[in-house]
């Protein structure tokens, strides 16, 4: 209080903000790298396009009525994918989620407008973007056929007078006319051309993205799981177990991984071979580098004070390994995983090119390039566009991995 009786408000010290955690710092540093951030956005867009493949490009009709029986082939494909392509289940779930979840949020947004003003203000933009996202695949639905031979297109095979008809997706022309444009270059009807069987290259590339993207993630997940287990056991227990694991790793490294994959896949009969065999083989042959990396991190962290404190409190070895040490050792593993996904995509493309990939007619980028080499002079698009897809996919994963590596390097932080 001053001499004249005026009250003076006491100065209030500014509140100290809570210190950021390690992963918060990594995330902030990562998104400062515009190239890495754009790479992540492109990866997400590729997954969305792969999930929307049945709506963007599919030759199956919406409604098919013949012999007095009405079926819904496109809906059935979304619920029960074709045999040998069970990986479609995962992407079809994403397809349903990108359509139903935004619509559900939109209804919730309008139903709660009178009692949840904060909800409306906070999520108004998110709901709008979600609804726009749900509409996007239907804007393309489906213009490009995956396989023109799935269903007959001749008018004589469908008799409307007897109640037999088919409702095909719009394809820019009469959907049941007998047109099979073989080895046609890029045009308005087929923006990336057609192959030797008259199938749309754009449609096959979109469906092939499901194979390439899923192979990369699943194979690397298997490699990380196996590598983390072996590396953790060797780095934590040391002694004879460490020696045994390291000698086994050195034995596996002695064999070139690509030729080891070829050898294992060759023992699987072609008619029984599926994309899951490729994922499993690539996973069990690509774990050695991750195991050695995890072992080194465990050797460095096992004697740290926080581990000794947890041990003194009575934590079991399993809890020490996977609850306290492993989370602090996963940084280099995540960086390696980003590069590993790119390598897995490239390996799968090479296997498909050599005929050891998913059995036909499953579309893969490598198989499309292998088909294109037979028509290199008259159908250049069969090699250029799938090859460009492989190049872009591998590049963006490598750029994302480099951005994550730089973000986890303390010297790069500002």
The pLDDT value given to residue 391: 92
CB of 112 within 8 A of CB of 71? no
- Band (pLDDT 50/70/90 cuts) for residue 197 is confident
Domain segments of the chain: what residues?
51-167, 201-412
* Stronger pLDDT, 128 or 117, i.e. the higher one: 128
Q: What is the mean pLDDT of residues 379-387?
A: 89
pLDDT at 238 over 50: yes
**Mean of per-residue pLDDT scores for the chain:** 76
Phi-psi label, residue 381: left if phi above 0, alpha if psi -120 to 50, beta otherwise: alpha
pLDDT tens sequence across 262-311 = 777 777 776 677 777 788 888 888 888 899 999 988 888 888 888 888 88
pLDDT at 148 over 50: no
> How many Cβ atoms are within 10 Å of 330's Cβ, its own excluded?
16
pLDDT at 7 over 70: no
d(CA 180, CA 147) in angstroms, rounded, equals 10
Of the candidates 22, 19, 27, the residue with the CA atom closest to the CA atom of residue 327: 22
CB of 280 within 8 A of CB of 222? yes
The pLDDT value given to residue 143: 44
Q: How many helices (H) and strands (E) does the chain have?
A: 16, 3
Q: Return the SS3 of 145.
A: coil
CB of 342 within 8 A of CB of 393? yes
Q: What is the mean pLDDT of residues 128-133?
A: 68
The CATH architecture of the domain made up of 201-412 is Orthogonal Bundle (1.10)
Mean pLDDT check: name the lowest of 124-133, 204-213, 239-248, 339-348: 124-133
Judge residue 288's burial from the number of C-beta atoms within 10 Å of its C-beta, 0-12 exposed, 13-18 middle, 19 or more buried: buried
d(CA 63, CA 166) in angstroms, rounded, equals 6
- What is the chain's alpha carbon radius of gyration, rounded to the nearest angstrom? 28
**Structure token digits, residue 252:** 């596996």
The pLDDT value given to residue 138: 60
């Amino acid at each position: 209080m001053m001499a004249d009786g005026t009250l003076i408000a006491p100065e209030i010290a500014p509140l100290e903000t809570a210190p950021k955690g390690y992963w918060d710092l990594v995330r902030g540093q990562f998104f400062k790298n515009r190239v890495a951030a754009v790479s992540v956005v492109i990866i997400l867009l590729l997954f969305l396009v792969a999930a929307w493949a049945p709506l963007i490009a599919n030759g199956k009709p919406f409604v098919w009525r013949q012999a007095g029986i009405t079926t819904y082939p496109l809906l059935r494909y979304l619920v029960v994918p074709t045999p040998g392509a069970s990986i479609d289940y995962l992407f079809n779930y994403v397809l349903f989620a990108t359509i139903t979840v935004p619509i559900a949020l939109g209804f919730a947004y309008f139903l709660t407008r009178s009692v949840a003003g904060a909800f409306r203000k906070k999520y108004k933009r998110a709901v709008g973007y979600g609804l726009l996202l749900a509409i996007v695949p239907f804007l393309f639905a489906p213009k490009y056929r995956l396989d023109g031979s799935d269903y007959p297109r001749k008018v004589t095979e469908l008799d409307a007078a007897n109640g037999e008809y088919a409702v095909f997706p719009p394809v820019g022309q009469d959907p049941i006319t007998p047109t099979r444009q073989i080895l046609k270059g890029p045009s308005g009807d087929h923006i990336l051309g057609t192959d030797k069987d008259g199938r749309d290259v754009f449609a096959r590339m979109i469906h092939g993205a499901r194979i390439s993207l899923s192979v990369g993630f699943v194979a690397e997940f298997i490699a990380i799981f196996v590598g983390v287990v072996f590396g953790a056991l060797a780095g934590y227990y040391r002694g004879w177990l460490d020696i045994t694991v390291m000698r086994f790793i050195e034995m596996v490294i002695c064999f070139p991984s690509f030729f080891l994959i070829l050898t294992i896949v060759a023992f699987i009969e072609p008619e029984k071979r599926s994309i899951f065999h490729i994922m499993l083989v690539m996973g069990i042959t690509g774990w050695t580098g991750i195991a050695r990396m995890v072992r080194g991190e465990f050797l460095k962290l096992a004697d740290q004070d926080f581990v000794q404190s947890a041990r003194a409190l009575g934590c079991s070895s399993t809890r020490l390994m996977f609850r306290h040490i492993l989370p602090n050792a996963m940084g280099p593993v995540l960086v390696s995983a980003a590069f590993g996904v790119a390598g897995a995509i490239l390996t799968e493309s090479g296997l498909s090119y050599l005929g050891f990939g998913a059995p036909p007619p499953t579309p893969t980028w490598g198989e499309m390039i292998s088909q294109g080499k037979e028509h290199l002079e008259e159908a250049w698009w069969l090699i250029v566009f799938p090859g460009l897809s492989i190049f872009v996919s591998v590049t963006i994963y490598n750029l994302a991995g480099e951005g994550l590596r730089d973000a986890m390097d303390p010297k790069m932080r500002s």
